[in-house]
């Protein structure tokens, strides 16, 4: 709420759950009646205003160019209809559309986004509640009610508006209000070649014919008076969906696909989540059909999570959308699009987003590549795609640029796609495929070779992991161990905190699958906008990256940290254990965390349990303040690991998630290189091993620089092992160190170009 003071009325006196159900029942009659889309929209707007006791009800519809046009109103000047327009982000209505989330205000004119439009005659109205009209994850318009008096809007009122907005979204989608091509098309792309620039989500090269993946169903019936019947339909659909997921699991197991199998195990956990299912059932009891309830819960989830920046949480949203679409298909009795017998032999899937099960629905023998409008490298669908050697590219607006059966080249190495490629592009593609095959052969040839530089310096290459599905890469890549195991990721797929037994079982499985190779477990690194659902968030953090996260949560809730440490100790019985604490800012924090570990060690021994054969304790170097406490820290630790991603953003006061600043500062700057060199020297003098596990460790040129300043252990993602190992086996460290000695005192922005020239001049393969 905005500016809630004094004694402000809370909602319409009689508008409760029963009133909401009556309104939805009358809405169903309007939708089933005759008349044009505009006529039915006018009736809906009038109905809302009368039933909810609003002085104003208005509906804005998205037009081409991201313009919101007032399409219907009760209470504002009728002359403003089809004449008042707002851009997305302009005014409160534009703000609702821009953020795809509801707003409820008791004093709208005082809101910073308020934009006065005199032609509407909205001067007398103080309170406002508005919701986005969403379909297919895109904003199609905004639905608003207003009152003259200041008042608080209730949750029932906002949820009712959201439900009605789903109905209006169908009017828009069916072309009854706006020609769908007006918004979806910015020209005729059907004949000309096109290059789509985007982001690589899974490397590789592929060519095939486009298959448009549109799993969302059109929901014709939104409201129902028979809740019990709808609940029965829902339960039957859930049962068949679980059975279908089990069939996919069995197929993955029979094919020996360990990674997709483990992903689907996690996916099935989502499908059985009680919170998700209970919200759907509650929506049915409020008067929705099973399909309408499923869609409303998903719209609400997307609206609540759309502002979060944490990639892992956004990736789980894609899994939930996959489940939503799958459940809707089972409710409708419709087969998956992947069952079609008319699909081409070489398939390039094009979709807004996908879940792992949707990908596995398609024939893997024909699937060549994937283009997504939304996704990230660590999303489940991309993990599965990498396991199947399928390249994936994220390309915004792909669905508007690609037609069904268009020839498409997917370049997962450079994050781009070529639609209807010209002959010269196809020839270049064939050459690139041949070059990639030669590189893969080179990486395969050195996989079993030692990680030793040309002048005999051994370099330990280790992996960054976070799920059981990552572990097969350890043997396949030739890495020497796991330098960073992110323990928080399994916690984030659960709706409740896993108990000590569940954690012990997980950590035991990890150690069992690593064949006695070293594993460094980082304790929970959550917080900010990456909160676990069962830990109360810290409200109002302006910069979550600097807020209540990682070890700060562990020390404030010592029982959580102690349970995790207890599980790690039990799982490591008779085996070495390496534990690393994240986000340590001062030695006192490390001492406090170490005391909790010592308490658990003594507890285990007191209960007669078998302790680990050896316990090594270290910390991440992420917070710059710790670099000025090394004399006190180094005698206390067994090892250190540099988290270069966070350290870089903290050193330069530059948010790595902000596109305006993320590329402004280079980790290969003289300042960063000098700082890291001093750290390596201090650790060497104290006899404390130090590694680096950020993204720069997995980039060949950056890794070369890190070796040059003294790092001898690099931890990286599995795909980086081959390129980095190839680089270091062609590197003479002594020559590089001598070259770099003269670079630190220069005032250059970055050493990258000079290091690239060095590599070229000295035959270093980067």
Catalytic residues: 380, 693
Structure tokens at 20: 């909401």
Angle 423-446/721-729 helices, nearest 10 degrees? 70
Q: Torsions phi, psi of 762, nearest 5?
A: -110, 15
Radius of gyration of the chain (CA): 29
DSSP string for 571-611? HTBTSEEEEEESS--SHHHHHHHHHHHHHHHHHHHHTTPPP
Structure tokens at 186: 């910015």
Distance CA 28, CA 25 (A): 5
Q: Are 328 and 297 in contact (CB under 8 A)?
A: no
**For residue 436, what are the contacts with CB-CB under 8 A and spacing of at least 6?**
204, 205, 413
Phi/psi region, residue 205 (left: phi>0; alpha: psi -120 to 50; beta: rest), is beta
Burial of residue 359 (CB within 10 Å: 0-12, 13-18, 19+) is buried
Q: Are 427 and 224 in contact (CB under 8 A)?
A: no
Structure tokens at 4: 């809630």
Which helix (H) or strand (E) segment holds residue 460: the answer is strand 460-465
Q: Are 294 and 280 in contact (CB under 8 A)?
A: yes
Partners of residue 195 on adjacent β-strands: 418
Q: Are 317 and 492 in contact (CB under 8 A)?
A: no
Distance CA 90, CA 113 (A): 7
Distance CA 354, CA 348 (A): 13
Which helix (H) or strand (E) segment holds residue 395: the answer is none
Positive or negative, the Cα torsion across 178, 180, 185, 189? negative
> Cβ atoms within 10 A of the Cβ of 33, count?
10
Distance CA 298, CA 292 (A): 10
Structure tokens at 716: 């990286």
Distance CA 234, CA 531 (A): 30
**For residue 753, what are the contacts with CB-CB under 8 A and spacing of at least 6?**
none
Distance CA 756, CA 766 (A): 8
**For residue 443, what are the contacts with CB-CB under 8 A and spacing of at least 6?**
722, 723, 725, 726
Measuring CA to CA, which residue among 439, 493, 517 is closest to residue 719? 439
Distance CA 526, CA 288 (A): 36
Q: Are 351 and 392 in contact (CB under 8 A)?
A: no
Three-class DSSP category at 620 = strand
């Amino acid at each position: 709420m905005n500016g809630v003071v004094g004694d402000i009325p809370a909602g319409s006196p009689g508008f409760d759950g029963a009133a909401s159900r009556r309104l939805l029942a009358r809405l169903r009659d309007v939708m089933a009646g005759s008349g044009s889309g505009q006529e039915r929209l006018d009736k809906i707007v009038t109905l809302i205003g009368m039933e909810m006791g609003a002085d104003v009800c208005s509906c804005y519809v998205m037009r081409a160019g991201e313009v919101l046009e007032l399409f219907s109103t009760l209470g504002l000047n009728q002359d403003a209809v089809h004449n008042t327009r707002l851009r997305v982000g302009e005014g409160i209505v534009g703000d609702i559309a821009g953020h795809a989330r509801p707003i409820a205000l008791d004093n709208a004119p005082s809101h910073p986004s308020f934009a006065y439009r005199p032609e509407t005659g909205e001067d007398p109205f103080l309170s406002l509640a508005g919701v986005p009209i969403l379909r297919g994850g895109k904003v199609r318009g905004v639905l608003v009610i207003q009152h003259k008096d200041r008042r608080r809007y209730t949750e029932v009122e906002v949820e009712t508006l959201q439900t009605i907005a789903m109905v209006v979204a169908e009017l828009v989608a069916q072309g009854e209000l706006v020609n769908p091509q007006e918004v979806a098309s910015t020209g005729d792309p059907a004949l000309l070649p096109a290059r789509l620039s985007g982001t690589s989500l899974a490397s590789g090269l592929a060519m095939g014919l486009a298959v448009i993946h549109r799993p969302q169903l059109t929901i014709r019936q939104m409201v129902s008076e028979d809740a019990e019947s709808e609940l029965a339909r829902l339960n039957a659909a859930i049962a068949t969906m679980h059975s279908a997921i089990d069939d996919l699991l069995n197929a993955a197991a029979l094919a020996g696909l360990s990674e997709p199998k483990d992903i689907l195990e996690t996916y099935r956990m989502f499908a059985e989540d009680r919170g998700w299912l209970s919200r759907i059932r509650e929506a049915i009891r409020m008067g929705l059909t099973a399909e309408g309830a499923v869609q409303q819960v998903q719209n609400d989830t997307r609206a609540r999570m759309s502002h979060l920046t944490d990639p892992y949480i956004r990736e789980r949203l894609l899994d939930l959308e996959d489940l939503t679409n799958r459940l809707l298909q089972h409710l409708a009795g419709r087969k998956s699009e992947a069952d079609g017998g008319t699909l081409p032999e070489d398939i390039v899937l094009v979709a807004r987003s996908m879940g792992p099960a949707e990908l596995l629905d398609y024939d893997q023998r024909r699937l060549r590549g994937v283009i997504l409008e939304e996704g990230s490298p660590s999303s489940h669908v991309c993990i599965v795609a990498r396991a199947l050697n399928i390249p994936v590219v994220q390309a915004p607006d792909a669905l508007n640029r690609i037609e069904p059966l268009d020839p498409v080249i997917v370049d997962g190495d450079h994050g781009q796609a070529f639609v209807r490629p010209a002959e010269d592009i196809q020839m270049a593609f064939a050459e690139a495929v041949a070059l990639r095959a030669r590189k893969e052969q080179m990486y395969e040839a050195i996989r079993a070779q030692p990680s030793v530089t040309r002048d005999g310096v051994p370099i330990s290459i280790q992996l960054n992991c976070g799920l059981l599905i990552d572990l097969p890469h350890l043997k396949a890549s030739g890495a020497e161990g796991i330098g960073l195991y992110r323990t928080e990721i399994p916690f984030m797929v659960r709706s409740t905190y896993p108990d000590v037994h569940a954690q012990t079982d997980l950590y035991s499985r990890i150690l069992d699958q690593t064949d006695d190779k070293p594993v460094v477990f980082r304790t929970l690194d959550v917080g900010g906008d990456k909160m676990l659902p069962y830990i109360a968030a810290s409200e109002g953090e302006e910069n979550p990256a600097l807020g209540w996260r990682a070890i700060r949560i562990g020390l404030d809730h010592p029982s959580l940290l102690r349970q995790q440490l207890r599980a790690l100790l039990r799982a490591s019985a008779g085996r070495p254990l390496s534990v690393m604490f994240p986000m340590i800012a001062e030695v006192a924090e490390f001492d406090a965390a170490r005391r909790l570990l010592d308490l658990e060690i003594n507890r285990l021994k007191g209960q007669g349990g078998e302790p680990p054969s050896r316990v090594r304790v270290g910390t991440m170097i992420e917070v710059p303040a710790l670099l000025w406490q090394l004399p006190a820290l180094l005698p206390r630790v067994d090892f250190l690991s540099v988290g270069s991603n966070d350290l870089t953003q903290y050193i330069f006061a530059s948010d790595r998630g902000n596109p305006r600043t993320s590329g402004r500062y280079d980790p290969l700057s003289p300042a960063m290189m000098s700082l890291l060199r001093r750290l390596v020297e201090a650790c060497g003098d104290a006899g404390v091993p130090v590694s680096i596990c950020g993204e720069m460790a997995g980039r060949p040129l950056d890794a070369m620089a890190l070796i040059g300043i003294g790092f001898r252990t690099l931890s990286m993602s599995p795909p980086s092992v081959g390129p980095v190992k190839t680089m270091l086996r062609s590197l003479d460290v002594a020559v590089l160190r001598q070259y770099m000695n003269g670079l630190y005192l220069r005032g250059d922005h970055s050493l990258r170009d000079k290091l690239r020239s060095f590599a070229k001049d000295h035959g270093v393969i980067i």
